[in-house]
């Protein structure tokens, strides 16, 4: 019973975080500022949804979810950093074209 409530709350929190991040992504035009809500979706939202696996009570599901969680913890900052670095290093004309097309 308590596990059911915890799982439902964690699922709702994760999906709420993803919704807030998606709204931010749709509102913000600049790529550097877009990386902030993008990190909210690829990091905490996915992690909280994976943490809701404790409510299933199945060992297989929980161990697989923990593996994905560790992987996401490592790779989410990596991909965000790669996109930021590419945005900073790309040629000047691409950056200007992206800046004007709001």
Residues that bind another protein (CB under 8 A): 3-4, 7-8, 11-12, 14-15, 18-19, 21-22, 25-26, 31, 34-35, 38, 41-42, 45-46, 49-50, 52-53, 55-56, 58, 60-61, 63-65, 67-68, 71-72, 75, 78-79, 82-83, 85-87, 89-90, 94, 97-98, 101-102
Distance (Å) of CA 80 to CA 12, 38, 90: 25, 8, 16
Query: How distant is the alpha carbon of residue 7 from its chain centre?
Result: 19
Q: Which two tokens stand for residue 14?
A: 């994760």
Rounded least distance, CB 78 to another protein, Å? 7
Rounded least distance, CB 3 to another protein, Å? 8
Rounded least distance, CB 16 to another protein, Å? 9
Q: What is the length of the chain?
A: 102
Contacts of 73 (CB under 8 A, 6+ apart): 43, 47
């Amino acid at each position: 019973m308590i596990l059911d409530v915890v799982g439902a709350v964690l699922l709702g929190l994760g999906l709420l975080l993803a919704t807030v991040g998606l709204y931010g992504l749709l509102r913000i035009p600049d790529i550097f500022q877009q990386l902030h809500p993008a990190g909210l979706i690829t990091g905490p939202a996915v992690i909280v949804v994976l943490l809701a696996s404790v409510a299933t009570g199945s060992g297989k599901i929980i161990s697989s979810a923990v593996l994905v969680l560790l992987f996401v913890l490592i790779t989410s900052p990596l991909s965000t950093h790669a996109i930021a670095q590419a945005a900073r290093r790309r040629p000047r004309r691409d950056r200007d074209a992206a800046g004007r097309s709001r």
